[in-house]
Each structure stands twice: as C-alpha cells, then as structure tokens.
Structure 1
C-alpha cells in the first residue's frame, strides 16, 4: 500500500472509535452491563484492525452491524443518529467480499437494521428516511463490489500482459511501449537514449546440468542484480529465455558502454557471465533493436563475457 493509501486507511478507521466515543459522550449508558458490551466491541474492532487492510473489512462489517443494532436498542429515542453511520456498513461489505457475498452480508445486516426500528417503535418521519436509504445503499454496495471485481480483472490482465511472471520484470511488450515513449521524448527535444541487450552465456548448460529450478533461480538473481545496479529512471526488462534488455534514457553510446561493463563485471562476481550489445537511437526504433542485437552477437562471436558497441556508435562520445 502506498503512502496515500495508508493515510486513507488510518483516517477511515479512526472514525470508528471517534464515532463510538461521541455516542458515549452524548448518550452515556446508565446500566453497568452496557460498559462491558462496549469493551467487547472495542476488543473485537482492535482484533479486526490487526488483520490489515485486506482482512479487516471482513470482520468489521459484522462487528459494525452488531454494534449498530446494539446502539439502536440502547438509544431508541436517539437511534436516528445512527443512520449516519449505516453507509459505512455497506461500504465495508463492498470492500470485504465479491458481489454475491457482499449482497449476502450487507443484505443480512441491512435487513436487521430495517426491522429493528419497527420493533422498537421509531417515529414515522425518521424511519421513512432511514428505510428508503437502505436499499439505495445496498444497490450502491453491489455497484462498488462489481467495479472492484472488474478493476481487479483488468489489473490482473494488464500486469500479466506486461510483466514477466518469473522475474517480475517488464516483458517485451512493456519494453516496446517504454521505447515508444522514449522516442516521443526525443522528438520533443530530449537527448537520444541507448538500448543494451544482454544474453547470459551458456545458460542452456545450467539447465541441462543443474536442472530448470536452478536456471530459474539464476534468472531471478540476475534480474534482481540488474534492477539494483542501474540508474534511477533506467528500465530493465526480460525479452525471453536468458535475454534481458536495459533502456537508458538520455544516454550516449559511451555512457551506455561503461554501464554495461560495470554490469558485466558484477554478473561475473555472481558466478555467471553475459554478453552485451549496445546501440543508441538514431531516428529509427526498429533499426535500434537490430543494431543492438548485431552488437550482442558480435560479442558472442568474439568469445562471450564482453560488451560490444554497434559500429555506427563506435566513434560517439
């Protein structure tokens, strides 16, 4: 959860004890037994909040439903004020469950909230507004739960489509999109960027001799190393197999080559080697990848574990 999410989470749950405190201040219980009930609710709410942002709503929705019923029974003459807090019950249900279960949870407690005032003889004007609001809130709950499901599916497929499931790095499609954005920046006046392709040397031997689990472990270790040792703003992606790519914004061929050399030496320290191909954007995105690929295979043919820069970039500074 990001900083804003944590702030909103804390702000949302602070309202719960503050609301209960306000109720106690305005309408303090007269019977000692009620204080025990408040203590039990407080312990339950603390337990629910300890479950974290994902688990808390599933407990809070039922704790809040029971608390609202308890308050309706205790402060019958002033129970209409609790209608202000009823939306929180429905929102919690929408965040806690998918659509069918959100309907069941919010419908159960909402139904009890509708029946209880009838049994306790609420005044008609208060009850009419309260009763009409409940089905509206229920409908909004289902809409919110439905939107959450759709957003979750869209986010899942977006992440699956743009992320390598093994390493967590951006995949080829994500890299292509980033390259297109970088081209647009160059066209607006930014400095040219460079592309580094790297291929782990003799990776097939690792899979054949040590097994695919060891090969997967090595790929993940290399991915972590590359991400940790590039500059802020650079993008590391996995093209497939044992081939990775690094997008270096506003980087000339010499700077890109120096960075690739540092990475090559670092990978050797990890116990593996890689060959690198470096090319700089010169106005044609398709040609950029081709030139970087040619430089990579030149490094392979020259003996592996080395960095090669495309011949068009040899004299660049």
Structure 2
C-alpha cells in the first residue's frame, strides 16, 4: 500500500478499539459481559493479522455480531449503533463481490432493522430513521462497490492495452500490476532486469530498423526461454524485466545465467540484475537496478545478485 492507503487503513483500525473504549467508559459492563468484549477484541485482532485483503471477510461478521450485541446492551442509547452500521456494509462490499455482497449486507441490514423490535426497544421517531437508513446505507454502499468494480474492469483493459507496440510485451505499468497480484497472494518472487550491452553502437552501425528487429528477437527469445507463469516485460529502451513468481534469489540467479548465455547466440550480450522481493516494490526495483549497473561496471555480460 502507498502512504495514504496506510494512513487510512490505520485510522480505520484505530476507530474500532476507540469506539469499544467509549462504550466501556460510558456504559460500563458488569460481570460476564466483559468476556463478550474480550471475544470481539480477539476477533478483531485475528482479522487484522489477515491483512487488508483477508480482514473484511472475518471482520464483517465480528462487527455485525458486535452491533447486535450493543443494540441489546445499550438500552435507551441503542440508536448510536446507527452511526457504525455503514462500516458493516462497506466491509461486506470489500469482502465479497456482487451478488454475495448484496446477500451478506442484506442479511445484516435486516438483522439490525429487526433487532430493536426483538429487544423490545421503543418504536418511534428514532426507530423509523434507524430502520430506513439501513436499507439506504446498504444500497449506497453496494452502488459504490459496483462503481469500484466497473472502474477496476476499465483499468484492467486499459492496462492490457498498455503494451509495447514494438515487442508486444507488457510495459512497466503492466508489470507493476502483476507484481501487486503476486504480492497479494503472499508468494515470494524475484525480479530480473536485463539491459542489452552496447545497443546504441548496434543501432549506430546497423541502423534503427535492425535495432528494432533485434529487440523483437530478444523478446521472442526471452518469452520462449522462461517458465510457464513467468512474466517478461519491456522496461523501456533496450531494457527488459522478468517477474519470476514463487522463485527465490538463487533460482532466479540460475535462470538469469542461462538467459545470459543464450543471448550470445543472437549476436549480442546482456547485463543482468537480480533481486528478491522483500515487501516493498520500490525497494525491489531499486535493488535490481543497482545490481544491473554493478553488472555493467564489472565489464558487461554479467549477472549480479542484489544484496
């Protein structure tokens, strides 16, 4: 996540314990009810450990049960639960795609709307607004989720189109999208950067059309030589990148060595920088790029593994 996303994620998580603390401060529980708060806190911690992608699936049920509990415990102050119900529907939208988000959110909306009646709360001004707002909040949240889904589809097809017109390979932006997908699956991967040696001299001596033909040939060679599931991309100019899912640094180093030797058959050499992912994409790019330039400094036609 970027800095703003981390900030928003932290604010969201900070709000849950603060809200629970307010309830404990103004409506102190007695006896066994303290154990209920401890249970909800443990569920929140378990959800937090799943990360941004996995947390909503567990937290939506934990929050729904917690809101029903507060509707029962808060007595005359039960309408305050309405302030927090939008979070429940947002979690449902994050946890599931339509139509499951609608079913899950609708189930909790119905439960919250009926709970005051089941608990014998006063049916009047507050209840009318509370019950009606659940349907409206659910509809608006799922509408937002639908727009988010459509935006994701548009972005996907736009990035599918962002390929290098010369080689047909994905460009840097498409590579970053694939790296993010691998990162969300929590699988280790490595990045290999390749820069063709003395490509400018090749262009100067043989002409740019021949240089373009060489880039196409190198692209075909790389795609043919990597494993199924590996991604080859154009990094710009005469630089290429290989994203190797589920690949440690030593295995990636061996793959780069094999590709380095194969390039010689095309009449050109290449310098390679290899780096393993450590949780930060920008750091990964920087270390791979530094390893690549060390390979150049060592005399080219080299493979260097980043620190």
Q: TM-score range by the shorter chain?
A: 0.5 to 0.7
Gaps of 5+ in 1: 172-193, 228-233, 239-266, 277-304, 306-317
- In the other structure, the counterpart of 2:171 is 169
> Counterparts in 2 of 1:168-317, with a 5 A limit?
168-170=170-172, 197=212, 199=214, 212-214=224-226, 220=232, 227=235, 270-271=260-261, 272-273=263-264
Q: In the alignment, is the contact (CA less than 8 A) between 1:170 and 1:237 conserved in 2?
A: no
Q: In the alignment, is the contact (CA less than 8 A) between 1:58 and 1:93 conserved in 2?
A: yes
Alpha-carbon distance in 2 for matches of 1:18, 1:38? 13
The answer on 1:92 being equivalent to 2:98 is no
Deviation at residue 136 of structure 1 after TM alignment: 0.5
Deviation at residue 169 of structure 1 after TM alignment: 2.3
Deviation at residue 202 of structure 1 after TM alignment: 7.2
Q: In the alignment, is the contact (CA less than 8 A) between 1:97 and 1:145 conserved in 2?
A: no
- In the other structure, the counterpart of 1:61 is 60
- In the other structure, the counterpart of 1:181 is none
Deviation at residue 94 of structure 1 after TM alignment: 1.6
Compute the RMSD of aligned alpha carbons: 3.9
Alpha-carbon distance in 2 for matches of 1:215, 1:100? 37
Aligned residues: 214
- In the other structure, the counterpart of 2:158 is 158
- In the other structure, the counterpart of 2:29 is 29
Alpha-carbon distance in 1 for matches of 2:230, 2:119? 68
The answer on 1:139 being equivalent to 2:136 is no
- Compared with structure 1, are the counterparts of its residues 27 and 160 closer, same or farther at alpha carbon in structure 2 (3 Å cutoff)? same
Q: In the alignment, is the contact (CA less than 8 A) between 1:71 and 1:79 conserved in 2?
A: yes
Residue deviations 1:111-169 (CA, integer Å, cap 9, x gap): 11111101222231211110111110111122012112101111111111114799642
Deviation at residue 270 of structure 1 after TM alignment: 3.7
Question: Which of 1 and 2 has greater Rg?
Answer: 1
- In the other structure, the counterpart of 1:10 is 10
Alpha-carbon distance in 2 for matches of 1:169, 1:67? 47
Deviation at residue 199 of structure 1 after TM alignment: 2.0
Q: In the alignment, is the contact (CA less than 8 A) between 2:215 and 2:238 conserved in 1?
A: no
Q: In the alignment, is the contact (CA less than 8 A) between 2:93 and 2:141 conserved in 1?
A: yes
TM score, norm. by length of structure 1: 0.58
Q: In the alignment, is the contact (CA less than 8 A) between 2:44 and 2:59 conserved in 1?
A: yes
Alpha-carbon distance in 2 for matches of 1:129, 1:204? 62
Alpha-carbon distance in 1 for matches of 2:145, 2:216? 49
Q: In the alignment, is the contact (CA less than 8 A) between 2:162 and 2:170 conserved in 1?
A: no
Q: In the alignment, is the contact (CA less than 8 A) between 2:71 and 2:81 conserved in 1?
A: yes
